[in-house]
Structure 1
Amino acid sequence: MRYQDVIPEQAQSTILCTVNFKKDVDTSVIVDTFRDFCERLHPTMNSMKIRFPYDNFKFAMGIGADAWERLFPLSEKPKELARFSEIKGKEKTAVSTEGDLFFHIRADKMDVCYEMMLIIHKLLKDVIDPVDETHGFRFRDGRAIFGFVDGTENPDIEEAQDVVYIDDENDPYQDGTYVLAQKYTFDLDLWETLTIEQQELVVGRTKEYDLELSDDKKPSNAHTEISKAHDRMGEEVKIMRANIAFAEPSKNIFGSYFLGYSKDFSITLQMLQHMFEGKDSDSHDSILDYFSTVSGNLFFVPSYEQLDKIATGEIK
């Protein structure tokens, strides 16, 4: 096993969990506990996939910048790993929140996700404090919480590895990746005041058949248009993204957990800047009129080779 499971295939159930290392526990104890966890991770993945062979089990863990500095002060950080900085536009803000470790667990049954989360709890409970745990679900036929098909703009599986995994042979963290994790709440009542045609103008695609609107109909601040990123030559560049639906309808809580995996965080950052700060004459992505950010942080997802180096103390 070379890579962690960071290419987000659709699964029926998801647990997304962010934790912090305890402030009042000696760092040496945390380091020893975390090294032990990393040593167990590979065999745990093998065991889970043997035990639940038909449940599409996938797992990835990311490490935040503050945690890296605390755990491995003698080792170079991944070059783009930093605490996510707030992006404040004229009307909307992408908030920055804390988080030392991030877990992305998915399977076709929630009890399989629970099993993995329970293992994490048993191994790390003495050194971590919870920040957030969100349970997501596959919504209808793979749609985001606002009712449109999710993942249409993602690269296909054959292209995904080139987009996601660091491929620079001179980078000590080759085969790892970066993930931006953002939790959004969604104003369903306000969204439902729009007609389907109005919703389609906000998103830039048709709702029923997931067809992109023609250029003469699609507004420049439609989500699928303004959120694009481009290289210096003007060519569109992509990341792997997922929007995991979550909800507590009895509390009128609805939301979407956004994950953006990329070998180059600057691509994801450009997308966010367009969405929140605007582009050309547009002040922001029009879909943000119905969403508010609750959290936002950047994590580095090591390869299994790098997890082994953490376990053995080679990353110090």
Structure 2
Amino acid sequence: MKYQDVIPEQAQNTILCTVNFKNDVDTNEVLEVFKDFCGRLHPTLNSMKIRFPFDNFKFVMGIGSNAWGRLFPNSEKPKDLKQFNDIKGKNKTAVSTDGDLFFHISADKMDVCYEMMLIIHKLLKNVIDSVDETHGFRFRDGRAIFGFVDGTENPDIEEAKEVVYIDNHEDPYFGGTYVMAQKYIFDLDLWDSLSVEKQELVVGRYKDTDLELSEDKKPSNAHTEISKAHDVLGEEVKIMRANIAFAEASKSIFGSYFLGYSKDFSITLQMLKHMFEGKDNNEYDSILDYFNPITGNLFFVPSFEQIDKIASGDIH
């Protein structure tokens, strides 16, 4: 096992958890506990996959910029790792929120996700405070919370490896990746007030068949159009993304947890700026009329070789 499970696959259940290291605990103590956790992580994940071989168990841990600076002040940061800054848009703001560690745990059964979270709790409870824990689920036939199929534009598995993993052998963090994590609250009642045809114009796809609208029908600020990123030659570039549904229906809370995995955060950042600030004709992504971001942070996801270096003190 060389890489973490950073190519998201649709699973039946997901736990997404963000924590901070305690400020009132000595940094040396925090570091020793975290090094011990990293040393146990690889065998723990092997054990989970042996114990639950048919449950599609996957695990990712990311480290935030502030945590890196606190724990490893003498080691060079991954080049794109920095605190995410607010993107103030025309209609909504992509907010920046706290986060030292981020966990993305998925499996076909929720008790498997819980088992891994329980292990994390037992090993780290004395040095962490919870920021957010969200339990997600596979919605209908793989759709996002707004009823359209999720992941249509993602690269296939082989192409995803080229998109996600840092592949520059000169980079000391070769094999790692970056994940942008954002939690959005969804206005279901407002969305349901739209006809299917109007929803399709917002998204840029037909709801039933998932086929993309033709260019003459798709608005320039449709989600599938304005959220694209391009390189200096104008060619489209991609990331690996997921929109994980969550809800507390009795409280009228509905939402989507966006994850964007990429070897180059500038691609994800370009997508977000297009969505919130607009591009070309200055329009923002029309889907933001129905979504409100309440969290947002960037994390570096180390390879297992790098996690082992943390455990041994080679990253110091």
**When the two structures are superposed, what TM-score results if normalisation uses the length of structure 2?**
1.00
1:181 counterpart = 2:181:
yes
Q: 2:91–2:288: 8 Å Cα contact kept in structure 1?
A: no
Moved more, 277-286 or 204-213: 277-286
Alignment partner, residue 12 of structure 1: 12
- The within-5 A match list for 1:91-106 is 91-106=91-106
**Secondary structure at 2:80's aligned position in 1?**
coil
Whichever residue aligns with residue 171 of structure 2, its letter is D
- Per the alignment, in what secondary structure is the counterpart of residue 256 of structure 2? strand
Partner of 1:279: 279
Partner residue in 2 for 1:215: 215
**Residue in 2 aligned with 1:142?**
142
Contact 2:222–2:287 under 8 Å retained in 1 = yes
What is the Cα deviation at residue 283 of structure 1?
A: 2.5
Aligned match of 1:110? 110
Distance 1:170 1:150 in 2: 35
Q: Is the 8 A contact 1:16 1:104 kept in 2?
A: yes
Secondary structure of 1:34's aligned partner: helix
Residue 157 of structure 2 corresponds to 157
1:80 paired residue number = 80
The aligned residue for residue 235 of structure 1 is 235
The alpha carbon displacement at 1:238 in A equals 0.1
Residue-by-residue CA offset, 1:61-94 (whole Å, 9 max, x unaligned): 0000000000000000000000000000122110
Contact 1:221 1:282 in 2 (8 A): no
Partners of 1:217 and 1:226 in 2: how far apart?
A: 14
Return structure 1 stretches of 4+ with deviation > 6 angstroms. none
Instruction: For residue 76 of structure 1, give the secondary structure of its aligned residue in structure 2.
Output: coil
CA distance in 2, matches of 1:288, 1:57: 32
Asked if structure 1 preserves the Cα contact closer than 8 Å seen for 2:243 and 2:259, the reply is yes
Tell me how far 1:130 sits from its aligned partner.
0.3
Give the AA of the match of 1:244.
Answer: I
Maintained 8 Å contact 2:221/2:286:
yes
- Tell me the secondary structure at the aligned position of residue 43 of structure 1: helix
Deviations 1:97-119 (CA, angstroms, capped at 9, x unpaired):
00000000000000000000000
Q: Secondary structure at the match of 1:295?
A: coil
- SS of aligned partner of 1:141: coil
Which consecutive residues of structure 2, in runs of 5 or more, have no partner in the other structure?
A: none
1:299 paired with 2:299, answer: yes
Cα distance in 2 for partners of 1:93, 1:75 equals: 33
Distance 2:133 2:93 in 1: 22
* Deviates most, 87-96 or 183-192: 87-96
Alignment deviations for residues 253-305 of structure 1 (CA, whole Å, 9 cap, x no partner): 00000000000000000000000000111431000000000100000000000
Matched residues in 2 for 1:63 and 1:86: separation?
19
Aligned residue pair count: 316
What does residue 253 of structure 1 align with? 253
Q: Does 1:131 align with 2:131?
A: yes
Q: Give the 3-state SS of the residue equivalent to 1:14 in structure 2.
A: strand
- In structure 2, what is the equivalent of residue 32 of structure 1? 32
**1:158: how far off?**
1.2
Residues in 1 aligned to 2:102 and 2:47: alpha-carbon distance in whole angstroms: 21
| 1:245 match: secondary structure | strand
* TM-score, L = length of structure 1: 1.00
Task: Give CA deviations for 1:163-185 in whole Å, capped at 9, x if unaligned.
Answer: 00000010000000000000000
Q: Return the alpha-carbon distance in structure 2 between the equivalents of residues 57 and 267 of structure 1.
A: 28
Report deviation, 1:230.
0.1
Q: Does the CA contact (< 8 Å) of 2:16 and 2:104 recur in 1?
A: yes
Structure 2 distance, partners of 1:11, 1:91, is 32
Matched to 2:28, the amino acid is S
